Amino acid sequence: MKILVCISNVPDTTTKIKLTGDQSAVDLANVQWIINPWDELALTRALELKEGSGGKIEKVTVITVGEKTAEPTIRKALAIGADDAIRVDAAPGDAYAVAHEVSEAIKNENYDIVLCGIESSDYNGSAMGGMLSEFLNLPSVSSVSKLEIEGDQLKVNREIPGGFEVVEPQLPFVAIVQKGIAKEPRIPSMRGIMMARKKPLNVVAATGATALTGFLGYTPPPAKAACRMIDAENVGELVDLLHNEAKII
Amino acid sequence: MSKVLIYTENFDGKFKKLNFEAASYGAEIAKQLGGEAVAISIGNVDDNELKQLGAYGVSKVLNFKNDAFADLDNQAYASVVAKAVEKEGAEVVIFSGSTTAKAVAPRVSVKLKAGMVFAAIGLPKNLSPFTVPKKVFHGKAFADVEINSNVKIISLAQNSFGLVESATEIAIEAFDVDVDTAFNTKVTKVEKATGKVLLNDAEIIVSGGRGLKGAENWPPLEELAEILGAATACSRPVSDEGWRPHSEHVGQTGKIVAPNLYFALGISGAIQHLAGVSSSKVIVAVNTDNEAPVFQAADYGIIGDVQKILPQLNEAFRKFKNEN
């Protein structure tokens, strides 16, 4: 069996977001780049599955659509433990274009399980995994918070309001994963970082997939009024303000 | 005539506020286009429930009644929705803020080569180019997104538009498409809490952080939630410590919530936590540290030990509830 994990290269989630002077773009100069947090959890789970499979899962591959500047993030995924990597050489367009490029790059590779994070922490699109499954014409399960292999059968938990469903998908399939899929993301070890330099990172040409959406401009979030402080000895005032001023209770 | 198709998932045969919010939003866009708002229902929803959509401007509902569709299969659902879009010649397709949007909408997008905007926060600002507002970087910036395909798909961020009543005569039309009901994904077990206020439905959320110091200190917080009819939630360290289940984790990597009132109790307000709650209408924060970043995001704040303040809050809110 082979597992593919889709990786997005995103600004660190603690980044202060600044806009360019004309507000046409987010200013990404001097930004620290990371593996999208949900993709990192997906990779961690893929490695756990491989290690627990007794050799049945031969390899875990990561793929990203990005320019050469995305390579440090891919190397980090290799350092964490992925066996090899694919970079589709293009600036990532919208989710539609990215999913299209990934589907073209892997259509002859026959991965059994494809893992995608449920959203990316930059543009919050939440669409790439679902789109990829449709381009590949594979079944998909979204909101996956647990993924186990029992014999030849995969079992996943899909979160629903107030609980979860256990879903058994036919393989190959695409799992769109969220929090809970792995406890904590793995941190690369020194040995992992050394080994990552020698692991294959295959660069493939893009097919020129077109985006169907584009960002026209940005604005900073509206300024917030200062917090009104209430004396700890007089919490009744809070109740009064929520009722009479905010009119929320 | 331009048509807007509104996808309505049901919850055990019933609609929730988020479905009516999506209907309201779709009906407003239909008005902008000078067209008609049509809904699609998949599964088994009775006519009385379907007719409720008429209160929010929907003039027709396609009723795809099929018991095999009691369980969600993304491929099968997307096939039905895409067929409905084609049958109606809809220009715009609306999904609610539920998780179904993430599961089904992207597949419909590929089937129809329709550009998609996830979690829009308002009506289109422009019809040509078709431009929709959304938040990016979890609310650290707002963006205008253009959709340049013939069919446009929008999912609506929950509680970002609200309900708009517009009583409309509604027709129910049986809708059937030839689709394989031997799904590629099978639901084998369902586990669901009953009688609890669900985090994503809650108008009020009471959330606890590390300031509560341990799982054993949650009863007063649960008491406050009960008094207010609120859902309980927590910050990431709390779920990582196992004091509370992961399903309660609110924040950038957990659940994104947008209640009317959010209590951050003993939560310092890491940037990732605030990203998950910043769409709340009113935020109340209680923390010992007056420099805690949570007070930058809060509307009302109390400086003090949450374990001492909570019993006082419970007393004050109980008194208020008894009097009102």
User: What is the residue-wise DSSP string for B68-120?
Assistant: GGGS--HHHHHHHHHHHHHHHT-SEEEE-SSTHHHHHHHHHHHHHT-EEEEEE
pLDDT above 90 for B196: no
B250 part of contact set with chain A, CB < 8 Å: no
For residue A173, what is the enclosing H or E element?
Answer: strand A173-177
Q: Which CATH superfamily is domain B204-323 in?
A: TPP-binding domain (3.40.50.1220)
> Does a structural domain hold residue A101?
yes
pLDDT interval class at B230 (50, 70, 90): very high
> Does a structural domain hold residue A88?
yes
**Would you call A135 and B110 a contact, using CB atoms and an 8 Å cutoff?**
yes
Nearest CB to A239: which of B74, B101, B320?
B320
Nearest CB to A160: which of B131, B142, B192?
B192
Tally of domains within chain A? 1
What is the reported pLDDT for B15?
97
Predicted TM-score (pTM) of the model is 0.94
Is the four-CA dihedral A168, A174, A177, A183 of positive or negative sign?
positive
Q: 3-state class of B231 per DSSP? A: strand
Counting Cα atoms < 13 Å in the Cβ hemisphere of A81 gives: 21
B297 part of contact set with chain A, CB < 8 Å: yes
In angstroms, what separates the C-alpha of B168 from chain A's closest C-alpha?
A: 30
**Would you call B300 and A166 a contact, using CB atoms and an 8 Å cutoff?**
no
Chain A hits for B117, Cβ within 8 Å: 213
Average pLDDT along chain B: 96
Decide: A224 and B145 in contact? Cβ < 8 Å: no
Query: Hey, of A238, A243, A245, which one would you mutate to test binding to chain B, going by the most B CBs within 10 A of its CB?
Result: A238
**Would you call B141 and A221 a contact, using CB atoms and an 8 Å cutoff?**
yes
> Does a structural domain hold residue A151?
yes
Angle at A176 between CA B236 and CA B175, to 5 degrees: 120
In angstroms, what separates the C-alpha of B221 from chain A's closest C-alpha?
A: 15
Cα A192 from Cα A122, distance rounded (Å): 27
Of the candidates B215, B229, B314, B221, which has an alpha carbon nearest to the alpha carbon of residue B264?
B221
What is the reported pLDDT for B194?
77
What is the reported pLDDT for A151?
87
CATH code: domain B3-174 is 3.40.50.620
List Cβ neighbours of A52 (8 Å cut-off, separation of 6 or more): none
**Would you call B303 and A232 a contact, using CB atoms and an 8 Å cutoff?**
yes
ipTM, two decimals: 0.96
Range of the domain at A98: 2-217
**Would you call B185 and A141 a contact, using CB atoms and an 8 Å cutoff?**
yes
**Would you call B145 and A130 a contact, using CB atoms and an 8 Å cutoff?**
no
Terminal CA-to-CA distance of chain B, rounded, Å?
A: 49
Chain B hits for A17, Cβ within 8 Å: 137, 140-141
Q: Residue ranges of chain A with pLDDT lower than 70?
A: none
The runs of H, that is alpha helices, within chain B are: 17-33, 47-51, 74-88, 100-112, 219-228, 236-240, 271-277, 294-297, 306-323
Q: Residue B199: which region, alpha, beta or left (left: phi > 0; alpha: psi -120 to 50)?
A: alpha
B76 part of contact set with chain A, CB < 8 Å: no
Residue B274 has which token pair?
Answer: 């605030």
Which residue shows structure tokens 């309980």? Answer: B232
Decide: B294 and B267 in contact? Cβ < 8 Å: yes
**Would you call A179 and B139 a contact, using CB atoms and an 8 Å cutoff?**
no
pLDDT tens profile B1-51? 799 999 999 999 999 999 999 999 999 999 999 999 999 999 999 999 999
**Would you call B141 and A219 a contact, using CB atoms and an 8 Å cutoff?**
yes
pLDDT tens profile B44-101? 999 999 999 999 999 999 999 999 999 999 999 999 999 999 999 999 999 999 998 8
What is the reported pLDDT for B195?
74
- With DSSP H G I counted as helix, E B as strand and the rest as coil, what are the percentages for chain B, rounded to 5? 35, 30, 35
In angstroms, what separates the C-alpha of B169 from chain A's closest C-alpha?
A: 31
**Would you call A179 and B246 a contact, using CB atoms and an 8 Å cutoff?**
yes
pLDDT tens profile A144-174? 999 999 988 999 999 998 899 999 999 999 9
> Does a structural domain hold residue A208?
yes
Which residues make up the CATH 3.40.50.620 domain(s) of chain B? 3-174
Chain A hits for B211, Cβ within 8 Å: none
Decide: A73 and A34 in contact? Cβ < 8 Å: yes
**Would you call A134 and B297 a contact, using CB atoms and an 8 Å cutoff?**
no
B171 part of contact set with chain A, CB < 8 Å: no
**Would you call B74 and A142 a contact, using CB atoms and an 8 Å cutoff?**
yes
Cα B85 from Cα A75, distance rounded (Å): 43
Chain A hits for B301, Cβ within 8 Å: 227-230
Return the residue of A nearest to B111 by Cα. A134
Chain A hits for B292, Cβ within 8 Å: none
What is the reported pLDDT for A236?
95
The CATH code of the domain that includes A80 is 3.40.50.620
Q: Tell me: cis bond preceding B106? Omega within 30 of 0 counts.
A: no
- The neighbour count for residue A233, using CB atoms within 10 Å, is 10
In angstroms, what separates the C-alpha of B61 from chain A's closest C-alpha?
A: 25
Of the candidates A83, A129, A128, A88, which has an alpha carbon nearest to the alpha carbon of residue A105?
A88
What is the reported pLDDT for A226?
94
What is the reported pLDDT for B298?
97
Residue B260 has which token pair?
Answer: 């009317």
pLDDT tens profile B242-271? 999 988 999 988 999 999 999 999 999 999
**Would you call A13 and B140 a contact, using CB atoms and an 8 Å cutoff?**
no
B122 part of contact set with chain A, CB < 8 Å: no
